[in-house]
Amino acid sequence: MITTISTAFERELQKLIQERIETLSNNLLGGLAISSMEEYREQVGRIAELRNVLSLCEEAASIINKTR
């Protein structure tokens, strides 16, 4: 039961992170809320860090699956 909840949580978290990346990317492409190069760089940095978080989620899941 705990594994099922954990797996569902992981999937939902990854889905929410991916949706956030898409929102930030769309805002960036559309020029929304970007009025300076600093804001552009900040948005690009946020997207990059969210992608890193997704990668870490996958790495953590892989580690957990190997220890079972």
pLDDT tens-place string over residues 12-46: 999 999 999 999 999 898 887 788 899 999 999 99
Write down the pLDDT at residue 31.
81
> Is the predicted pLDDT of residue 49 greater than 90, yes or no?
yes
CA-closest candidate to residue 64, choices 7, 1, 15? 7
Angstrom CA distances, 3 to 10, 34, 49, 55, 65, stand at 10, 42, 27, 20, 11
Please tell me which of 4-13, 26-35, 40-49, 59-68 the model is most confident about, judged by mean pLDDT.
40-49
- Rounded to whole angstroms, the Cα distance separating 59 from 42 reads 25
Which residue type occupies 44? V
- Model pTM? 0.83
Locate the domains of the chain by residue range: 13-67
